[in-house]
């Protein structure tokens, strides 16, 4: 049986307006990752493989958790949100979000236009993003063991879409709920990929850490 744990990176630079500027953890993001690493150490720390994407925020989350020698795989890199948002504004006059409320309606619009191939001149197609994520998960499911993947919200949302057969609207809603440093568990049993838990934050559940529960 394969048991796959996915972690979203800690809080990144939420004031950014470009991928390069976003790709660094805040001090809180570092702390979230340290708390999660301590939780895993105190519960069941063994993983047969630990894999991150190649983005700084993913690698540094792994390091803060205590996984300095994690493997890296570009399949775990985030979808190109900033480029998609720029294309959506340029081609359909839908502006980038100014706050969390705007983002809640903007992300579904991005996903719908992207999935329907309405956005041109973007660095990755929806089909290519879907393929790279699902191919990696299917590969991992072909082998037994406990695997920890440290990635981003869009990738986690796509994995949930793959496991649960979600449509675009439901996938976007799941992505919007994925918290920084959250933990998600899947099992491949009876030739099926099953979701065991979604968006768990046991390392942030105590009242004194309520301030550290962030989505952006």
Q: Which residues contact 213 (CB under 8 A, 6 or more apart)?
A: 179, 201, 204
- CA atoms in the 13 A half-sphere facing the CB of 5: 22
Task: Clarify whether residues 47 and 24 are in a common domain.
Answer: yes
Task: Clarify whether residues 89 and 167 are in a common domain.
Answer: no
Last residue of a domain, one of 91, 106, 123: 123
- Structurally, how many domains does the chain consist of? 2
Task: Clarify whether residues 161 and 114 are in a common domain.
Answer: no
Structural domain span for residue 99: 80-123
Query: H or E element: which one contains 51?
Result: strand 49-52
Q: In this structure, what token pair is assigned to residue 153?
A: 């919200």
Question: What string of pLDDT tens digits covers the 216 residues of the chain?
Answer: 899 999 999 999 988 888 999 999 999 999 999 999 999 999 988 999 999 999 999 999 999 999 999 999 999 999 999 999 999 999 999 999 988 889 999 999 999 999 999 999 999 999 999 999 999 999 999 999 999 999 999 999 999 999 999 999 999 999 999 999 999 999 999 999 999 999 999 999 999 999 999 998
Q: What angle do CA 87, 93, 95 make, to 5 degrees?
A: 80
Q: In what order do the strands lie in the sheet with 49-52?
A: 71-72, 49-52, 145-151, 2-8, 183-189, 192-200
pLDDT in tens, 40-71: 999 988 999 999 999 999 999 999 999 999 99
Task: Clarify whether residues 118 and 135 are in a common domain.
Answer: no
pLDDT, position 113: 98
Task: Clarify whether residues 69 and 8 are in a common domain.
Answer: yes
Predicted model pTM: 0.96
In the DSSP assignment, the letter for residue 12 is B
Task: Clarify whether residues 29 and 135 are in a common domain.
Answer: yes
**CATH at residue 191:** 3.40.50.1240
Task: Clarify whether residues 92 and 185 are in a common domain.
Answer: no
Task: Clarify whether residues 129 and 114 are in a common domain.
Answer: no
Q: How does DSSP assign 65-117, residue by residue?
A: HT-TT-EE-GGGSPP-HHHHHHHHHHHH--PPPSSHHHHHHHHHHHHHHHHTT
Last residue of a domain, one of 69, 101, 123: 123
pLDDT, position 167: 94
Last residue of a domain, one of 54, 89, 123: 123
Task: Clarify whether residues 60 and 140 are in a common domain.
Answer: yes
Task: Clarify whether residues 89 and 194 are in a common domain.
Answer: no
Task: Clarify whether residues 166 and 202 are in a common domain.
Answer: yes
6/159 Cα distance (integer angstroms)? 9
Task: Clarify whether residues 114 and 9 are in a common domain.
Answer: no
């Amino acid at each position: 049986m394969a048991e796959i744990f996915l972690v979203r990176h800690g809080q990144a630079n939420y004031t950014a307006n470009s991928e390069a500027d976003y790709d660094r953890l805040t001090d809180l993001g570092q702390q979230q990752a340290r708390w999660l690493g301590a939780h895993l150490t105190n519960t069941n720390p063994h993983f047969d493989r630990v894999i991150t994407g190649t983005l700084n925020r993913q690698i540094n989350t792994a390091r803060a958790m205590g996984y300095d020698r994690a493997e890296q795989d570009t399949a775990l890199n985030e979808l190109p949100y900033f480029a998609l948002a720029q294309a959506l504004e340029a081609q359909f006059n839908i502006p980038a979000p100014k706050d969390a409320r705007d983002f809640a309606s903007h992300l579904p619009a991005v996903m719908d236009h992207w999935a329907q191939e309405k956005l041109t001149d973007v660095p990755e197609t929806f089909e290519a993003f879907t393929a790279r994520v699902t191919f990696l998960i299917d590969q991992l499911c072909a082998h037994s063991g406990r695997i920890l993947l440290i990635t981003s919200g869009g990738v986690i949302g796509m994995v949930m879409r793959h496991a649960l057969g979600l449509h675009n609207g439901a996938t976007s809603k799941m992505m919007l709920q994925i918290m920084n440093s959250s933990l998600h568990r899947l099992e491949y049993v009876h030739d099926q990929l099953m979701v065991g838990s979604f968006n768990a934050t046991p390392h942030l559940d105590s009242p004194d850490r309520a301030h550290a529960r962030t989505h952006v």
